[in-house]
A and B are shown apart, each in its own frame.
Chain A
């Protein structure tokens, strides 16, 4: 079975990734699995209202823990830690759990051998059924490390289910930015949709997101959302795409009724009108999603 995975990203936050992911899922006809890879600000479930069928805790890398009884406060660990994650306070080393990456340098250098490893729960991964198909989503506990690892696990679950159930399409709502969680969302995907909007900030971020897709060798195309908020900047984005050879997959207008539907927790399939099926067609064609 040939499963195709399309990942929706944006660079800049707030350009409409989640709304578009749900809307595209509502016009896709294939058997599909949905995944929300924006694990530290997950919102897809707010539009899809899943009935929960399962949940599992997420454990990141084991991290360091100091035995306070044994610690002499020598600060050798503090000097060795490259992540600024262990500090001597009041004569004892204290691990900052939000920064420890579990590299074990401190264990290695501690003369008292008083540092060990512990596993902590960093978040929760959930599965639910929705009208548009099964949804895999997750929540990283605030301040947490290991977003990339969590995204990788989430995508693996979605793929496993697609293989088992015969679904041919996975639609993944990605995180903003170009860092760890985005890299983990896009790597190995079949096609990335970059959602932009007519602003100078979004154009700058689009360039960086496109650069990342290039480095990861994942083909991509661009959607210009709310194009009518500035026709001039929409033209600039289209020109940039033309010059760079990036395909423009479609455009979606800004309309109050779209915002109102999302505000009421509804997927704006009807409100987006003909632009939506046209966009999905563009994605299928450019992304070679159809077998």
Chain B
């Protein structure tokens, strides 16, 4: 089963709960898809493996072949090719999205593509668990590209059980992660912000028709209820982790509370049996 752990709001505890689930079932493939801020490795343990670049083709113009017809500049919807009135058009690399249209419209085939590194994939073992991580290069905006390449790598492993630690928000990076999931585990917190972002997340898993269950983390830090959302979206709360300062502190140090807090570990084990009872 391929489980996606997502949340809408950042900082609700996606990564803590992902790490705990993985430590409880170390035969599950760990995949960190929060490629802008990958932190799962910090909670799992030391990483041993290899690093592979993620590239994207960027357009370039061979000036000597260019006939200054400006078809490329007219075709590019991202405004990445500037026509300066004469001569060879200029490509703005930071705006190029690598769609591959300009080489196709260039009559003398003066445009070629060159791979540019937009991120990396770490593949190996982390804290004794098979581990994959996508990591966006700082300054690149190609989040979805790195997510998709990481998932492709995961698919090549032929493992049946995945746990994907997803990015926050409800935009395309989350959609790119969720579309590979058999079920979504949404981590929320009982605060007004937590509830509001959970609602957006539930709309999304409902739209994508992904079976969904909820985990309420940090119970006790607020008293906001979500029962009406559970009913509306037919998603049950299957675990509650109470807020504990000691769990927060061990997480902050990079130690999963699964290892340091007996109550937390017990909740995680019963969460696994609930997931299996409902979804496998």
Interface residues of A (CB under 8 A from B): 10-15, 18, 38-43, 46, 61, 80, 82-84, 98-99, 101-105, 108-109, 139-140, 142-145, 147-148, 175-183, 197-201, 204-205, 208, 211-212, 215, 229-230, 233, 259, 262-263, 265
Smallest Cβ-Cβ distance to B249: which chain A residue: A230
Bound Cα distance A279, B216 (Å)? 32
Contact of A143 among B77, B105, B208, B251 (CB under 8 A): B208
B155 within 8 A of A: no
Q: Which residues on B sit within 8 Å (CB–CB) of A262? A: 191-193
Interface residues of B (CB under 8 A from A): 8-12, 15, 36-37, 39, 42-43, 57, 75, 77-78, 97-101, 104-105, 136, 138-139, 141, 143-144, 148, 167-176, 191-193, 196-197, 200-201, 203-204, 207-208, 221-224, 245, 248-249, 251-254
Measured CB to CB, the closest approach of chain A to B83, in angstroms, equals 18
Q: Which residues on B sit within 8 Å (CB–CB) of A180? A: 141, 143
Would A143 and B101 be within 8 Å (CB), given that A14-B9, A102-B77, A200-B253 are in contact?
Answer: no
Establish whether residues A200 and B100, one from each chain, have CB atoms under 8 Å apart when the complex forms. no
User: 10 tightest CB-CB pairs across the interface, nearest first?
Assistant: A14-B11, A13-B10, A103-B99, A177-B36, A199-B252, A142-B204, A201-B39, A263-B222, A40-B171, A211-B138
Establish whether residues A205 and B171, one from each chain, have CB atoms under 8 Å apart when the complex forms. no
Establish whether residues B136 and A178, one from each chain, have CB atoms under 8 Å apart when the complex forms. yes
Measured CB to CB, the closest approach of chain B to A81, in angstroms, equals 8
Bound Cα distance A204, B136 (Å)? 13
Establish whether residues B10 and A12, one from each chain, have CB atoms under 8 Å apart when the complex forms. yes
Smallest Cβ-Cβ distance to B98: which chain A residue: A82
Bound Cα distance A175, B172 (Å)? 14
Establish whether residues B200 and A142, one from each chain, have CB atoms under 8 Å apart when the complex forms. yes
Measured CB to CB, the closest approach of chain A to B188, in angstroms, equals 11
Q: Which residues on A sit within 8 Å (CB–CB) of B42? A: 200-201, 204
Establish whether residues B8 and A41, one from each chain, have CB atoms under 8 Å apart when the complex forms. yes
Smallest Cβ-Cβ distance to A117: which chain B residue: B77
Total A-B residue contacts, Cβ distance less than 8 Å: 187
Contact of B175 among A39, A41, A143, A177 (CB under 8 A): A143
Measured CB to CB, the closest approach of chain B to A252, in angstroms, equals 15
Q: Which residues on A sit within 8 Å (CB–CB) of B172? A: 98-99, 143-145, 147
Q: Which residues on A sit within 8 Å (CB–CB) of B167? A: 177
Q: Which residues on A sit within 8 Å (CB–CB) of B173? A: 179
Q: What are 15 A-B contacts defined by CB distance under 8 Å?
A: A12-B37, A13-B10, A14-B12, A43-B192, A98-B175, A140-B171, A175-B169, A176-B11, A177-B169, A179-B143, A180-B141, A201-B15, A201-B254, A208-B138, A233-B253
Contact of B37 among A61, A102, A109, A205 (CB under 8 A): A205
Q: Which residues on A sit within 8 Å (CB–CB) of B222? A: 259, 263
Q: Which residues on A sit within 8 Å (CB–CB) of B223? A: 263
Measured CB to CB, the closest approach of chain A to B133, in angstroms, equals 12
Measured CB to CB, the closest approach of chain A to B172, in angstroms, equals 5
Bound Cα distance A204, B104 (Å)? 41
Measured CB to CB, the closest approach of chain A to B224, in angstroms, equals 7
Contact of B101 among A61, A108, A181 (CB under 8 A): A108
Smallest Cβ-Cβ distance to B43: which chain A residue: A201
